[in-house]
Every structure is written in C-alpha cells, then in structure tokens.
C-alpha cells in the first residue's frame, strides 16, 4: 500500500462519501453517481478511478456494468498505519512530558 496515495485519495470529502456508500454493499457506478446531485457522473467516475488506483475500492465487471466495493483489507492496513503513527506520536509526547517533569523536579529541589 502506498500510504501517501491512499491519504490523498481520502482527503477529498466526496471520495470519503463514496467509500461509505460501498462499505457494506457492492454498487454499480451509476447508482453511486445518482447519490450525488451536485456532481456529474463523469466526476464520480474520476473519483472512483482515484480510489481504485489507491486500492481503496475494488472493481468488478458484470457485463457492461462496473461494480464497486470497499477494499476492507487495504482500509484496515491504512487504519493500522494511522493507529501506529498516532500511538508513536503520543508515546513520544508522553516521554517528553515525563522528561520535562523530571527536570523540573531536579531544579526545584
């Protein structure tokens, strides 16, 4: 997984909405596009392409239709990456705070 590509893909609010739509069910592109009244069908197709390139949605062809569903495995990898990132950052912050508290204790005494 290319984390940067995935993060750029989900940075756009409409793409996050698309992911929500296809999280629990596989939907055809036309049905996804119908949910967005203020966006052209072509624009929705471009959003789906970006999500597909980021490997966040999977595409299946059924005749002439293209069906999309969330790639739960990739989304889980992205979630784990972000969890590790935040956990590591919080641990570093805690270590800095504890170190500052120890320093303060030695200078107060």
Q: How confident is the model at residue 102 (pLDDT cuts 50, 70, 90)?
A: confident
Residue 92's pLDDT is what? 78
Helices (H) and strands (E) in the chain, counts: 5, 3
Q: Average pLDDT in the 69-81 region?
A: 95
Q: Average pLDDT in the 83-89 region?
A: 78
Residue 25's pLDDT is what? 97
Beta pairing, strands 27-28 & 65-70: antiparallel
Distance CA 5, CA 71 (A): 15
Tens of pLDDT, residues 8-66 = 999 999 999 999 999 999 999 999 999 999 999 999 999 999 999 999 999 999 999 99
Indicate the pTM of the whole model: 0.78
What H or E segment, with its residue span, contains residue 107? helix 72-108
Identify the bridge partners of residue 61 per DSSP, sorted by sequence position: 66
């Amino acid at each position: 997984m290319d984390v940067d590509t995935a993060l750029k893909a989900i940075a756009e609010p409409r793409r996050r909405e698309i992911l929500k739509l296809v999280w629990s069910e596989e939907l055809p592109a036309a049905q996804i596009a119908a949910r967005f009244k203020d966006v052209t069908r072509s624009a929705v197709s471009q959003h789906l392409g970006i999500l597909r390139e980021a490997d966040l949605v999977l595409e299946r062809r059924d005749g002439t239709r293209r069906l999309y569903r969330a790639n739960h495995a990739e989304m889980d990898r992205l979630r784990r990456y972000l969890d590790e990132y935040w956990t590591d950052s919080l641990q570093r912050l805690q270590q800095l705070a504890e170190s500052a508290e120890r320093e303060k204790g030695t200078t107060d005494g």
